[in-house]
Amino acid sequence: MTDLLKQNIDSLAEFLAHALELEVESAERYRELADNMRVHNNIDVSELFAKLAHYGDAHAAEVEQRATGMELPYISPWDFKWRCPEAPEAPCMEDVHYMMTKCQALELALHNEIRGRDFYAQVAKSSGNREVQRAAAEMASEEDTHVTMLREWQTREACSTLEPQPDLDPPNMPE
Ligand code: ZN
C-alpha cells in the first residue's frame, strides 16, 4: 500500500476537510466518466458511474453536515485529484475526453476507489483521535464496497485488469 498520508490527521476538522475534497473530486470525475460512457452508448456502465457519482455527492453532503459550525482548515486539493494507474498502458484522465473503453473506464475508477479506501484506512489506523478513527473506518468500509462493485463489473465485462488481485491464486494461464 502506498503511503497516502503526509502526516497523521488528529483533528476531526482536518479529517472532514480531506474527506470533503476527496468526495467532491470523485463525484466530479464519475460524472465525466458517466457522460463519456453515455456518449459512446455504454449505457449500463454510464449508469454505474452515475450511481458512484451519487455516492460521492451523498458522502460530501454528510461530511458537510458533520462539519456544520466547524471551521475546516484549508488543505491543498492536489493530493485528492484522481490519478492514473501507474502501468504504462493504463487509462488516464485525458483519455476520458476521447475514446475510452468500458474496461479502461472501470480500471481508472477502480484505481481511484482503491486510493480513496486506502487513504481512509490509513487515517483510521494512524490517527490519535478516536472520533477521526471511527469516521475514517466507516468511510474506508464504504469505499471498500465500491472497490468490490467495480471488480464485479470488470469480471462481468470480461476486462483484463491491471490492478493486482492479491486474493486470487497465482495465475497459471500464459500471459
Ligand atoms: Zn467510492
- If you write DSSP's letter for every residue of the chain in order, what string do you get? -----SS---SHHHHHHHHHHHHHHHHHHHHHHHHHHHHTT-HHHHHHHHHHHHHHHHHHHHHHHHTTT--PPP--GGGGS----SSTT---HHHHTS---HHHHHHHHHHHHHHHHHHHHHHHHH-S-HHHHHHHHHHHHHHHHHHHHHHHHHHHTT----S--TTSPPP-S--
Q: Are 162 and 85 in contact (CB under 8 A)?
A: yes
How much distance in Å is there from the Cα of 160 to the middle of ligand 1?
A: 21
How much distance in Å is there from the Cα of 168 to the middle of ligand 1?
A: 23
> CA-CA distance, 154 to 97, in Å (whole number)?
21
Written as tens digits, the pLDDT of the chain (175 aa) is 556 777 788 899 999 999 999 999 999 999 999 998 898 889 999 999 999 999 999 999 999 999 999 999 888 777 778 887 776 666 677 666 666 788 888 998 999 999 999 999 999 999 999 999 999 999 999 999 999 999 999 999 999 876 555 544 544 545 4
User: What is the pLDDT at residue 102?
Assistant: 87
User: What is the pLDDT at residue 79?
Assistant: 75
User: What is the pLDDT at residue 82?
Assistant: 80
C-alpha grid cell, residue 150: 467495480
- If you write DSSP's letter for every residue of 114-130 in order, what string do you get? HHHHHHHHHHHHH-S-H
User: What is the pLDDT at residue 16?
Assistant: 95
Rg of the chain, C-alpha, whole Å:
17
User: What is the pLDDT at residue 81?
Assistant: 81
HSE toward the beta carbon, residue 159, CA cutoff 13 A: 22
How much distance in Å is there from the Cα of 98 to the middle of ligand 1?
A: 24
How much distance in Å is there from the Cα of 34 to the middle of ligand 1?
A: 14
Q: Are 91 and 104 in contact (CB under 8 A)?
A: yes
User: What is the pLDDT at residue 175?
Assistant: 46
How much distance in Å is there from the Cα of 146 to the middle of ligand 1?
A: 5
Is this structure's pTM higher than 0.75? yes
